[in-house]
Structure 1
Amino acid sequence: MFTGSIGGLGLERCLAEAGDEDGFVAFVHRLLPEPDEELIRRIAGIVGETCEFDDGFVELTERRKARR
């Protein structure tokens, strides 16, 4: 939602660092410092409400733990 797509090491870093919403916001802010953290949080909230995801945050976290 912020970079168009992410993969490889960037994705691995995001999954490793962003264990919750606050971690995700901090990760994106370090990657893209121009939008402030409140704007990042609002955009992520809108995307979460308007897009349908097959997995929720808990499922993604569990999948990440299983890969370790």
Structure 2
Amino acid sequence: MSTALQWFKSTYSGSEGGECLEVAATPQHIHIRDSKHTPEDAPTLQVTPATWTAFTKFAAR
């Protein structure tokens, strides 16, 4: 049985939409998509949780 991903965007994103990233997590992957696309046609990038953690630590510097 497949469970739909629950997508979240940053609390820093404005309510106007259109220019933010959304993320969803499973135990195996962090899924990333651009909110400009509709959910049905949005290409997604999948990375491991370890890769996501390293990225967010780097970006927070």
TM-score (norm 2): 0.32
Q: Which has the higher strand share?
A: 2
